[in-house]
């Protein structure tokens, strides 16, 4: 595929707001996970809660979009000059030539969960509850379009935890089709009861901070994040960062468990390599999906080993950020871009002993080494898989 060029990126997560905080956390090997004190939730689990979301205020004219998810989105849109860069892109290409594709799994459903607690005597929802601008999966997309004055093709991608990796592939397709010249892509997912109680019901949450690829890992920690990347169809200059390849596949196996040998994951990684015109040996680091559940990490290890034979350094950054679900693909894309910028392999935290059977070169302490191309994995419920390859543009 034709590379898509990265001109601006940022992220807000429990590691902090913006690139400087995220970069510092990666270098200092900090985790943002803390015991869950969110809302009225009484679950013995850790979460990666972003700071400052409750205090964020949407512009008055967009108040109808107000919900935790769009507040989190706004925090990121305002970081690292992202909004100015998008507006400059609009000025350059025209508002209808700039697309918006945002991955989310639960969007603003927290708003509906809270509204259900405030039902009237007749069972009705409160008058101030607005489904379209908060709950609906398209809410953050429409909010971003209105906030930034965008009028081009747009969609929310909702493929569970692969959502915001797939938006990169979708934008690249629209570039190739000549339908747009730039795209704001990203992911936004915020803490809510549905996912916390839902993953708990599947016995997939850990009572401790998650420990991806540790021999004693016992589940995931949920996080929240907003992460955005401004992609351009034409290179802004030589040697910049770019999306070099994307690969998507389906497990066709089970709704909430990965294929035990990671066949779908393998297919996604292989397709991404083919799209980029690269071999496994060209990849210097793999940001693993690595949720910390016994099943995911084992299946992903088998998939990675089938292609990379344990030779490529890899880690999961979810022990630092938590599993940010529909935002994970974009958050980890931003982490990969930072890794290339910093020539730093981020550490996979909380590991006491890497499970030997997994046979990975698992990065437990961050490493400084030349880093040209990185691959990021995102896998989700329903067997949705997406692998992305980032690197310096040729």
Partner 1 sequence: MRVRVQGIGVRGPGLESWAQCAAILRGEAPYAPAPTQVPAASMLPPAERRRTTTSVKLVLACGLEAVQAARADAARLLSVFASSGGDSQNCHEICEVLAGSTREVSPTRFHNSVHNAPAGYWSIATGCMRASNVLCAFDASFAAGLLEAAVQCTQTTERVLLVAYDTPYPPPLRAKRPIADAFAVALLLAPESSGGGALLELRLRHAPVSRIRLAELDSQCHSIPAAAVLPLLERLAHAGVGESIGAESARAQAGTGAADAQAGAGDCGTAGEVVLPYLAPLHLAVTVRV
Question: Quick one: which of 100, 228, 104 has its CA closest to 160?
Answer: 104
Nearer to partner 1, 31 or 111 (CB): 111
Q: Does 201 bind partner 1 (CB under 8 A)?
A: yes
With CB under 8 A as the contact rule, the residue among 60, 121, 177, 238 that binds partner 1 is 177
Angle 251-256-262 (CA atoms, 0-180°, nearest 5)?
35
39 Rama class: left (phi>0) / alpha (psi -120 to 50) / beta: left
How many angstroms separate the Cα of 271 from the Cα of each of 129, 152, 278, 312, 383? Answer: 43, 28, 10, 18, 16
Looking at the Cβ atoms of 92 and 173, the one nearer to partner 1 is: 173
Active site residue 161: yes
248-to-104, 224, 225, 386 alpha-carbon distances in Å: 17, 23, 22, 4
Single out the residue of 138, 208, 306, 367 in contact with partner 1 (rule: CB under 8 A). Answer: 138
- Our answer to whether residue 282 is catalytic in this structure is no
Instruction: State yes or no: residue 256 binds partner 1 (CB under 8 A).
Output: yes
Q: Which is nearer to partner 1, 84 or 197 (CB)?
A: 197
Could you give the CA distance from residue 27 to residue 25 in angstroms, rounded to a whole number?
5
Can you tell me which of 77, 109, 184, 371 binds partner 1, judged by CB under 8 A?
109
Q: Which listed residue (86, 159, 269, 375) binds partner 1 by CB under 8 A?
A: 159
- Can residue 128 be called a binding residue for partner 1 (CB under 8 A)? no
Tell me whether residue 51 or residue 155 sits nearer to partner 1 (CB atom).
Answer: 155
Can you list the alpha helix ranges (DSSP code H) found in the chain? 19-28, 68-77, 82-93, 109-116, 139-148, 163-176, 193-201, 263-276, 294-308, 318-321, 328-342
93 is catalytic: no
How many of the other CB atoms lie within 10 Å of CB of 263?
Answer: 20
Least spacing, CB of residue 155 vs partner 1, in Å = 4
**Packing angle of the helix pair 19-28, 328-342 (nearest 10 deg):** 70
**Which residue of 214, 248, 297, 355 would you call a contact of partner 1, by CB under 8 A?**
248
- The site for partner 1 (CB under 8 A) is made up of 96, 105, 109, 112-113, 116-117, 119, 123-125, 129-132, 136-138, 141-142, 145, 151-160, 166, 170, 173-174, 176-177, 179, 193-194, 197-202, 248-256, 263-264, 267, 271, 380-384
């Amino acid at each position: 595929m034709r590379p898509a060029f990265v001109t601006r990126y940022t992220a807000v997560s429990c590691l902090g707001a913006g690139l400087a905080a995220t970069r510092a956390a990666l270098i200092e090997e900090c985790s943002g996970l803390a015991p869950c004190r969110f809302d009225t939730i009484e679950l013995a689990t850790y979460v990666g809660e972003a700071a400052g979301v409750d205090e964020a205020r949407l512009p008055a004219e967009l108040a109808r979009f107000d919900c935790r998810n769009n507040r989190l989105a706004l925090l990121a849109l305002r970081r690292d000059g992202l909004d100015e860069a998008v507006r400059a892109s609009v000025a350059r290409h025209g508002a209808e030539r700039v697309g918006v594709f945002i991955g989310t799994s639960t969007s603003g459903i927290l708003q509906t969960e809270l509204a259900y607690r405030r039902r009237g005597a007749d069972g009705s929802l409160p008058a101030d509850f607005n489904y379209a601008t908060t709950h609906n999966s398209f809410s953050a997309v429409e909010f971003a379009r209105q906030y930034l004055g965008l009028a081009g093709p747009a969609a929310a991608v909702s493929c569970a935890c692969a959502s915001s990796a797939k938006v990169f592939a979708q934008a690249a397709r629209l570039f190739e089709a000549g339908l747009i010249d730039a795209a704001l892509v990203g992911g936004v997912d915020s803490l809510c009861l549905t996912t916390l109680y839902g993953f708990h019901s599947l016995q997939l949450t850990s009572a401790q901070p998650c420990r991806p690829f540790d021999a004693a890992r016992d589940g995931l920690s949920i996080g929240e994040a907003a992460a955005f990347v401004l992609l351009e169809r034409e290179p802004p200059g030589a040697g910049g960062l770019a999306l070099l390849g994307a690969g998507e596949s389906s497990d066709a196996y089970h709704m909430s468990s990965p294929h035990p040998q990671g066949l779908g994951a393998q297919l996604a990684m292989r397709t991404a390599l083919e799209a980029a015109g690269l071999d496994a040996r060209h990849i210097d680091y793999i940001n693993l999906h690595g949720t910390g559940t016994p099943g995911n990490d084992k299946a992903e290890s088998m998939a990675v080993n089938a292609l990379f034979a344990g030779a490529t350094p890899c880690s999961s950054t979810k022990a630092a950020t938590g599993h940010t679900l529909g935002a994970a693909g974009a958050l980890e894309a931003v982490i990969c871009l930072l890794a290339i910028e910093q020539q730093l392999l981020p550490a996979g935290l909380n590991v006491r002993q890497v499970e030997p059977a997994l046979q990975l070169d698992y990065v437990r302490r961050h490493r400084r080494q030349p880093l040209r191309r990185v691959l990021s994995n995102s896998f989700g419920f329903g067997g949705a898989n997406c692998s992305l390859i980032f690197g310096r543009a040729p």
